[in-house]
Protein backbone atom coordinates (compact mmCIF):
# COMPACT_ATOMS: atom_id res chain seq x y z
CA UNK A 1 0.00 0.00 0.00
CA UNK A 2 1.30 3.44 -0.86
CA UNK A 3 1.34 6.04 1.89
CA UNK A 4 1.11 9.72 1.02
CA UNK A 5 4.30 11.04 2.53
CA UNK A 6 3.11 14.61 2.24
CA UNK A 7 0.86 13.85 5.18
CA UNK A 8 1.71 12.54 8.65
CA UNK A 9 1.91 8.79 8.99
CA UNK A 10 3.01 6.19 11.54
CA UNK A 11 5.54 3.46 10.96
CA UNK A 12 4.75 0.40 13.03
CA UNK A 13 7.58 -2.02 13.60
CA UNK A 14 5.77 -5.30 13.05
CA UNK A 15 8.39 -7.31 14.91
CA UNK A 16 8.22 -5.33 18.14
CA UNK A 17 4.43 -5.04 18.37
CA UNK A 18 2.74 -7.22 21.01
CA UNK A 19 -0.81 -6.58 19.82
CA UNK A 20 -2.05 -5.00 23.05
CA UNK A 21 -4.39 -2.71 21.13
CA UNK A 22 -3.69 0.48 23.09
CA UNK A 23 -2.79 2.40 19.93
CA UNK A 24 -5.94 1.32 18.15
CA UNK A 25 -7.97 2.55 21.12
CA UNK A 26 -6.04 5.81 21.41
CA UNK A 27 -6.22 6.85 17.77
CA UNK A 28 -8.71 9.72 17.42
CA UNK A 29 -9.11 9.08 13.70
CA UNK A 30 -9.46 5.30 14.01
CA UNK A 31 -6.87 4.68 11.34
CA UNK A 32 -5.03 1.91 13.20
CA UNK A 33 -6.18 -1.68 13.48
CA UNK A 34 -4.99 -5.05 14.67
CA UNK A 35 -3.62 -6.80 11.60
CA UNK A 36 -4.73 -10.15 10.21
CA UNK A 37 -1.32 -11.78 9.96
CA UNK A 38 0.88 -13.11 12.75
CA UNK A 39 4.32 -11.64 13.17
CA UNK A 40 7.43 -13.74 13.72
CA UNK A 41 6.80 -13.82 17.48
CA UNK A 42 3.17 -14.86 17.22
CA UNK A 43 1.38 -11.54 17.67
CA UNK A 44 -1.17 -9.92 15.38
CA UNK A 45 0.75 -6.69 15.01
CA UNK A 46 -1.08 -3.39 14.66
CA UNK A 47 -1.25 -1.83 11.20
CA UNK A 48 -1.87 1.61 9.75
CA UNK A 49 -4.91 1.61 7.46
CA UNK A 50 -3.02 3.84 5.04
CA UNK A 51 -4.60 7.25 5.31
CA UNK A 52 -6.11 9.66 7.76
CA UNK A 53 -3.22 10.06 10.26
CA UNK A 54 -3.05 13.59 11.68
CA UNK A 55 0.30 13.13 13.46
CA UNK A 56 -1.10 13.59 16.97
CA UNK A 57 1.33 10.93 18.31
CA UNK A 58 -1.26 9.53 20.71
CA UNK A 59 -0.36 6.05 19.45
CA UNK A 60 3.35 6.69 20.02
CA UNK A 61 2.87 7.85 23.59
CA UNK A 62 0.41 5.13 24.55
CA UNK A 63 2.50 2.33 23.05
CA UNK A 64 4.38 0.39 25.77
CA UNK A 65 7.16 -0.58 23.38
CA UNK A 66 9.80 2.14 23.00
CA UNK A 67 10.64 1.32 19.40
CA UNK A 68 7.42 -0.12 17.96
CA UNK A 69 5.91 3.11 16.60
CA UNK A 70 7.49 6.14 15.00
CA UNK A 71 5.50 9.10 13.69
CA UNK A 72 6.61 10.91 10.55
CA UNK A 73 5.36 14.46 10.18
CA UNK A 74 6.23 16.37 6.99
CA UNK A 75 7.41 19.92 7.54
CA UNK A 76 6.36 22.74 5.28
CA UNK A 77 8.97 23.67 2.70
CA UNK A 78 10.71 26.82 3.65
Partner 1 sequence: MTEKIISSKGIYNEFPRKGRNNPAPAATHYCPGCGHGILHKLIGEALADLGLQDKTVTISPVGCAVFAYYYFDTGNIQVAHGRAPAVATGVSRATDKIVIAYQGDGDLASIGLNETLQAANRGEKIAVFFVNNTVYGMTGGQMAPTTLIGEKTVTCPDGRDPLTQGYPLHLCELIASLQAPVFVERVALSDSKNIRNARRAVRKALEVQRDGKGYTFVEVLSPCPTNLGQSAVANNDFINEQMIREYPLGNFRDRTEEAEPVVRPDSDFTRESLDTLFELDSIPPSIPHDDAADTETQVKIAGFGGQGVLSLGIMLTEAAQAASKQVSWYPSYGPEQRGGTSNCSVIISKQAIGSPVVYNPDLLVAMNRPSFERFKNDVKPGGIIMYDAQIGDVELPPGVKGVAVPAQDLAEQAGSSRAANTIMFGVMLELGITRLPEAAFARALEANFAKKPKLIPLNLKILEFARQWVKNNVR
| Chain residues in the site for partner 1 (CB under 8 A) | 5-6, 13, 15-16, 18-22, 25-26, 28, 40-41, 43, 55-58, 60-68, 70-75, 77
Q: How far is the CB of 64 from partner 1 (least distance, A)?
A: 3
CB of 32 to partner 1, least distance (A): 13
The Cβ of residue 68 has, within 10 Å, a number of other Cβ atoms equal to 22
Cβ contacts of 14 within 8 Å, gap of 6 or more: 35, 39, 45
Smallest Cα–Cα separation from 16: which of 67, 58, 62?
67
Judged by beta carbon, residue 49 or residue 73, the one nearer partner 1 is 73
Closest approach, Cβ 49 to partner 1, in A, equals: 18
Residue 59: how many other CB atoms lie within 10 Å:
24
Amino acid sequence: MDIDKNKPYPIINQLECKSCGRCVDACPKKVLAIGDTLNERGYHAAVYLGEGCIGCANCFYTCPEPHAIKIHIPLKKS
